[in-house]
Every structure is written in C-alpha cells, then in structure tokens.
Chain A
Amino acid sequence: MKITFKLNGRDEEWEVEPGANLLDVLRENGHTEVKRGCDTGDCGACTVLVDGVPRSSCTMMAGQAQGREITTIAGLGDALDPHPLQQAWVEVGAVQCGFCTPGMILSAKALLDEAPMPTEDQIKDALSGNLCRCTGYVKPIEAIKLTATRLNNDKGVTDA
C-alpha cells in the first residue's frame, strides 16, 4: 500500500507492506535515528512526534502515518546544527550511551511546545515513557530546565 505523509518537513510517498509497523518502515528507509529498544511500546527509544505528539513508532502501523506529520530527531537538528535541546543535552552531560537520547529529546520537545516553562513534575511526566538505564534521568531533567530557561530568555520572557 502507498502512504503519503510529511517526514521532518518533507512530503513523502512510500510503498509499505500492509501491517508493517512504523518503526520498521522508518528504519528500513534509512531513518535509523529512530532506535529500537523493546518492540512493545514500553521503552520510548523509538519515539517520534506525530503531529507534534510523542508516540512509540514500534506500536504504530505505518498506515497510521497517512496524512500526518512525522518528526524524528533528525528533524530537530544534527551534530553541526543542533537544536537547543540537543545542545543542552550535550552541555550538561545528559548523553551517556545515547541510545535513549533521540526519543527522550523528542518527548522534551513536545513538552516545551506545550509548556515553555515546565515544572519539575511536568518534566517527569513528559519523560515518563522514555526509559534510560545510564543517566538516572537527573541530567536529562536538568537539560530540559536549561533549555526552557534559554528559550524563554531568548523570547525576552524572564525566568519567574
């Protein structure tokens, strides 16, 4: 079957097997920035944004992407031109093995789009679907706070 959707801002038309899941299809098409950790929607390594909302791509049918806007970590930035969240993740030491990082940053992106100055509880809630075994979550949470402060300062909003 054919699906048309937007991927990281570009219009795409892909031929996919009916029943194929989105994670497989993304990775088979070279989007290995979406990582595979569990295949059951429990770890969050395969998180993508679907119309801005974080979803586990391993439990989505590829057909569900039809007409949607999918964002992977590659849609945020790369090593040479990082998104502020990626920049903060690196600066505070929130990247260890880095396998959960793309998914976690996407969850953080969705949070900051909704709540530009989130509370610690909002941050924890937003990351609750992303498992990490290396960092103990301490520095990822710090990275989100730092990004929020920076983005709000850029906008001229002072940190309350």
Chain B
Amino acid sequence: MPDKDYPKLGVVGHSVKKVDAFGLAAGAPVFVADEIPRDCVYMAMVFSPHAHARILGIDASEALAMDGVLAVYTHKDVPRVIHTTAGQGYPEPSPYDTYMLDDKVRFVGDRVAAVVATDRHLVREAVKRVKVEYEVLDAVFDPREALKPGAPVIHDEPQARMPIPVTYDPKRNLAAHVEAIVGDVDAGERDADVVVEGYFYHHQYQHSPIEPHVCLAWPDPNGRLIIKTSTQVPFHVRRIVAARLGIPIRQIRVIKPRIGGGFGTKQEVLLEDIAGFAALQLKRPVLFEYNRTEELRSSRTRHAMYIRMRAGAKQDGSLSFIDMHAVMNTGAYGSHGLTVLSNTGSKTLPLYRWPNIRFIGDTAYTNLPVAGAYRGYGGTQGGFALEATMDELARKLGIDPVKFRRMNHIREGQTSPIFEALGEGKAGVPQTVNSCGLDACLDKGADAFGWDRPIPKRVDGPIRRGKGMVTLMQGSAIPDIDMGAASIKLNEDGSFNLLVGATDLGTGSDTVLAQIAAEVLHVPVEKVIVYSSDTDLTPFDVGAYASSTTYLSGMAVKKAAEKMRDRIFDVAARLSGVPVDELVLTDGAVQAGDKGLVTFERIGLSTLYEKDQQQLIATASHIVHQSPPPFSAHFAQVAVDTETGIIKVERYVAAVDCGQAINPALAEGQIEGAVVNGLSAALYEELRYNEKGALKNKDFDTYKIMGTMDLPRIRTILVPTHEPTGPFGAKSVSEICINGPMPVISNAVYDAVGIRLREAPFTPEKVLALLRDKGY
C-alpha cells in the first residue's frame, strides 16, 4: 500500500473541513441570487409552446406598455452569431447550431424572446403578454425516426456546422457519428461458445441541482461586462459570450461564486449571453434565473440512448467479441452530442480485454429538450448496457459474476486499443493503466456485502430478493486537451493565497486543492487561502468537468507550490547564509542547518518590507497525456414485490479505487451522492412528454428525485492505489459511481425473479409486465 512506498502525508489523505463549509451551513449570501444590486432588473424568457415551428411575427406592444417593462428582445434585436452552448475547449467538439435568438424554434421550451422588467413578478406577467405567431412544422421525437429519410429537418439553416473535421450532416438530423473497430467481430463471434444479444434503453432525466441556473450581469463603470454566474466553466463562458456578443474577450469578466450543484448541466452557456446583452443595452444589472420548470425543460438533460449489444465468450470464460451500436438523442441542439457518444464506448469498453470490438454510434437531432453533459457522460449509458451484458454472459457460462470480472478486467501495465481509437472529437491517446485497484475493490466490496453468503430469495408473500454486482471505470481529465493552472503567493504572516481557475461547484475542490498546496509547503490547510474561478484574477482552467479537477488542476497546484517552495528556499538561503541544498522544509519554516529556523513569516516580512522587496509568487500550468481510469465495484441487494412491481434497493456497497483520496470524507461524499443520483435515475426519474413534445412533469412534485425515505443502506469503501501521474497519487472520483446503480439493479432483479430489465427507468409498470410474461 502507498504508505510503505511513499512519504507520510501530513494534510493530504486527511478529512480536513471543507474550507467554505461553515459559511454555507450558516446560509451566508454566497450564491448568485443572494446579493442583488439595488438597481437590478429581471429577465424572463418567452419559451416556445411548439416542438417545431417558424416564428412569423412577435407582437410585444402589450408587454412593453406595462409599467416597469423595459425591453423585449427578439431575434431581430440581438447579434446573429451561430455558436454552441457547450462549455468545452476550443474549438468545441459540438456543432455550432444555436443562435442567441432565432426565427425558428425546435422544442417546447426553446427560446423565443427575452423580457426585462423592474420586478421579478412583473417580468413573468409581461412574458404572458408577448404575442407570437407561429407556423407549426412537423416534429420528430424518436432519434431512430429522425435519422430516416423524409423526417422533418430540424437544423435546415445553412450556417449549422461542426467547428472540427468530423461527420456532421444536419440535413439527415445526424449530429454526430462515431466508429471504432478493433480486430474482427465476425471472426470473434465464430470463435465464441456463448453469445448474448439484446437492446437497452437509457432514458432522459435531468440533473436537478437544487439551485437552478442563475446569472447576474452588469456593466462596470467603464463599460466592461461583469457576469456573476452559476457555472462550471467560467473561462468558456467568457470566450463563448464574447463570440456571441461580438465583443473582445478582454471586455468580459466572469465571476463564479458558490454554486448550488451542477452535475454537468452548468457546463453550458445558457443564460449568460442574453443577460449580458441586456445588461450592456440597458446599462443596468440584469438577473436571469430559471425556475424549476425551466430548469427541468429548458436547461440540459441526460442524453437518452438506445444501445444494441452483441457479445460472446468462450467456455473457459475468456471474452471473444463485443459489438455495440448506439443511437443517441441529443434533442434540438447538439451540445456534447459527439463526445458523450464517443465516451459511451471509451469509458466502458477498455474495462475488459476484448480481442474484437465494434463500436458504432449515431447522434440524432429531435424536437425534444436538449441533452448535454451529465455526470457519467456516456459511461452511464454504456455502462448500463455493458454490465448487464456481462451479467448475462456470466450466467450463460455458469461462472460467478465476480469471478467472471476478475478473469477479464484490465490490469496494471495493460492497455486497451479503445484508448487510442476513441477520443473526444479526434483520435484518442494510447495509454497504459498505471494503477488499478479493481481486484481489491472486488475483494473488499464482496466481503463487505457478503457476496458469498446466499440470500434467502423467497421471503414472505410476494417479495423476492436478489443480489447483483458490476464493475466500472471512468477517466481523469481529457488528455492532450484540458489545461489547468494555479498561482500561489506568500503573505507576510507566512500564509499563502492560492489562485486557481478550477471551479468548485460544491464538490470541495477548493479544499482539495488547498490540501495539495499545504502538503507541498508543509503548512496546515488554514494557511492556504483559496480563491477560485474569476477570469480577471485567477489563471486559466478549463473548468469542472471530465473528472479533471483533482487530477489535472491538482497537479498544477502541486507544481506551483513546488515552485514557491524553491523561491522560499532562495530567500531562506540569502537570509541564513546556508546554501539551498542544505535547506529542509519543516512546519511553516525552513530549517537552515545549525542557523536555526527561517519561518515563512520572516521570509514574507523580509520580501515585502525589508530589502530587495518582491512579491514571492509562482504560477504553473498542467496538461496531461493520459486519462487514468478510476475503478469501482458495486454490489446491491434488491427486494422485488411481485404483486406491485416495486423494486426496493435494500443494501448497496461501492468500493472505489480513486488512487490516493486527497480528502477521504469528500471523496466518500462524491461516491454517496453519485450512487443516490444513479439510484434515483434508475428507479424514479424520467422526463415525460405528451404527443406534442411538451414536458408533463414540470415540478418536483411530478418529477421525483430520491429523498431520504427511499434510501438504502449505503456502504462506501475507498481502496487506495497510487496513480504515478496524479498529485500525491490521486485519480478522479466524481463521476464513476453514477454508472453503477442502473446495471446493478438490473442484475439483482434478474437474480431475484429472472427478468431482465433493459429499459430504464425500472418503473413498477415495466417490472409487472415482465413478471407477467414470466408467469408470476
């Protein structure tokens, strides 16, 4: 274990208190909507009631006549720049298919016109008074239908394009296409002793951060645009808003305060462009916040996906081939439509040693609300299909599913051809797995769960019990694309300011990054004051996505802190007369041989006030050339009520290899939150529409997310490994565990009652229908 081979850690590896937690627990005014300037005005959007229509005319006169209504903006009033809302690196691997406002609407809930008024209630009233004349067009909602000849063309505007050279054919509603072929699946199938085949449907649901999207934009006294926004990607917001408004990037400052959860939906530029436009037009602060209905319908969702699977294995348990064909629904716009699709293969297939692989995927535009980044990012959809398929193979071979995984999973020192074949908008990057604790995850998880103990299946009356397990992988950052940077400066009391572009959206990354700096500099975490995500003040970072912050930004912090340590040594050598190579860092000071301690306070005072004054400051950037997967094994016990079809998850164990956990309590929190989000999606949540594509469940009463009453007993086990390319051995932990619940429930329900759940969510109706077919 790491302790033996690596130096003992003082701050890293300890569950220090989250640096912002006391303020948050006290309800401090730290979120965007908590501090509203006195002269603030309010924006609300007129949203489309039609799934597909052309706007023939907009009559805003009645709204504008209302006392306190300041403006109504339509497509005729705003810059016409086609772009993407996806907050990704540049150039974005998502199609440019979205205008700030357009003369066409493509889903129920699409932007039509923006209204600004002096009061937050008034603006909602004014929205109702805007009259819009539409020419309603035929709509299509099923991605398989949308790809057929003759389907309504959703993006008929000639300007729609991909900014990178990949397949994109909006005339066919094709937003993305991906193919990766390794070996020969037909030959693999001929060699296989057993073959399983089936299709899976992963449904559409919404992230549901408790704080909906919200943004406050205002012009500063010199006309620059300041945007305080609930975002995961402040630097991408700055770049994309500049492009949309046609103003220089230098004219925009984006500030990220505390964020009330994101989970991917705030990796989008959804409000900032038009709020910023209005702020510059009206020369006043503009608050634009979504209500819950708008958050569910007009932000972003999980990409729904159909996956057809064929896979085979030999009688000895070795794998022969896998053939995976995905059709993904991106909704009306193509945000993340290519990269979620490619990750459906790249975050799942390398987990096992398939000699022959075919992965083909198509992403279709439809007239439904728009999908986007969501924790798990393809790994969730692909993981469902893959892990249920692995369960079926194991059962057909008569091999215990844990043993079957052990026989076939990737190990340290091994690679997968998929790493190179599937990238994010370009070819992938070959990599060898440097750290893999999956065997230990299987050992400890199975032991904690009691996998080898039989579960009495038949209990009282209609209840049947069963158990299931899965193994999982994800990545850590996007190789050769993502960059994170950090600066650190010394103060005269021996404390440090750590400035990071990295974006803490509630995950605790400010704390984790402070711990990394504190570890390098041998100070307690209280001496590292973190300020993050302000495009005027902090260095660049791509933002909080792709499980990148600890691994990528953490390494930037480590490098910056090491540079600072070297600067400190230089000054300590000058002050003490002891050469640098004889200096040793100790608690908050430099041990200068027999000359005693030179404290950081002394160094800070000297450099700022005494002689040859200078600000000690160090900056470092980090890019990565691999995306080391975290690994995980999940186990669950379910009880199926054969009379009602209700599934109850009774026990859940998640064993996770995230390398060295920088802060174990925060790492556990990531796992527990992801598991419950995954359980909620698998069992309860689904965006449901009427025949015209209008969302039916528009509030938390009808769109149920999991609360405490449904909670199983959850046991989290951190399995330490050491990832040599990560800071202090760390890999990612934030996304991986959301991929477990859906397949693990499917596998456990099969164990209980012999039905295979292939279509999520697993509602009582679906369960009952399958039970009836089975003769229950």
Contact = CB atoms under 8 A, between A and B. Distances in A.
Interface of A: 32-40, 42-43, 45, 72-74, 77-80, 82, 86, 89-102, 105, 123-125, 127-139, 141
Given A90-B21, A131-B700, A139-B669, A97 B259 contact: yes
B49 interface: no
A154 B146 CA distance: 66
Nearest to B703: A42
Contacts of A92: 665
Interface stretch (B53-61, B177-185, B503-511, B528-536): B503-511
A74 B716 CA distance: 33
6 contacts: A94-B669, A96-B507, A99-B211, A128-B708, A137-B672, A138-B716
Contacts of B677: 133, 136
A79 B258 CA distance: 15
B672 A95 contact: no
A130 B701 CA distance: 13
Contact of B27 (A35, A91, A97): A35
Given A79-B23, A98-B24, A105-B25, A91 B700 contact: no
A131 B705 contact: yes
Interface string B11-28: 000010110111111111
A40 B17 contact: no
B34 A138 contact: no
A100 B21 CA distance: 12
A45 B291 CA distance: 14
Contacts of A102: 25-27
A133 B707 contact: no
Nearest to A72: B27
A27 to B, nearest CB: 8
Contact of A101 (B25, B508, B669): B25
A59 B709 CA distance: 22
Contacts of B211: 35, 37, 45, 97, 99
**3 nearest A-B residue pairs (beta carbon):** A97-B506, A98-B24, A33-B27
Given A42-B700, A43-B700, A86 B708 contact: no
* SS class, residues of chain A in contact with chain B: loop
B21 A95 contact: yes
- Which of B15, B672, B707, B708 has the most CB atoms of chain A within a 10 A radius of its CB? B708
B708 A95 contact: no
Interface in B658-683: 663, 665-666, 668-669, 672-677
A88 to B, nearest CB: 9
Interface of B: 15, 17-18, 20-31, 33-35, 207-212, 258-261, 263, 291-292, 505-508, 663, 665-666, 668-669, 672-677, 699-701, 705, 707-709, 711, 714, 716
A93 B18 contact: yes
A123 B677 CA distance: 20
B260 A138 contact: no
Nearest to A95: B21
Contact of A133 (B27, B261, B668): B261
B718 to A, nearest CB: 13
Given A93-B15, A124-B711, A127-B708, A86 B25 contact: yes
A74 B27 CA distance: 7
Given A97-B260, A101-B25, A133-B263, A42 B17 contact: no
- Which of A78, A90, A94 has the most CB atoms of chain B within a 10 A radius of its CB? A90
Contact of B708 (A32, A94, A134, A141): A141
A96 to B, nearest CB: 5
Given A74-B26, A125-B709, A97 B672 contact: no
A90 B18 CA distance: 7
B27 A37 contact: no
Contacts of A39: 291-292
Contacts of B701: 40, 42
A40 B716 CA distance: 34
B21 A138 contact: no
A49 B54 CA distance: 49
Contacts of A43: 210, 292, 700
Contact of B506 (A77, A91, A96): A96
A103 B24 CA distance: 11
Contact of B22 (A32, A86, A94, A132): A86
Nearest to A42: B700
A146 B21 CA distance: 17
Contacts of B508: 93, 96
A32 B34 contact: yes
Contacts of B705: 131, 133
Contact of B672 (A99, A125, A138): A138
B207 A133 contact: yes
Contacts of A125: 708-709
A37 B212 CA distance: 7
A37 B292 contact: yes
A133 to B, nearest CB: 5
A125 B707 CA distance: 10
Contact of B25 (A42, A45, A89): A89
Contacts of B259: 97
Contacts of B505: 97
A95 B17 CA distance: 10
Contacts of B261: 96-97, 99, 133-134
A72 B26 CA distance: 10
A73 B27 contact: yes
A129 B504 CA distance: 26
B292 A33 contact: no
Given A37-B212, A40-B700, A137 B708 contact: yes
A136 B260 contact: no
B292 A135 contact: no
Nearest to A129: B707
A78 B3 CA distance: 38
A45 B666 CA distance: 22
B707 A127 contact: yes
B260 A95 contact: no
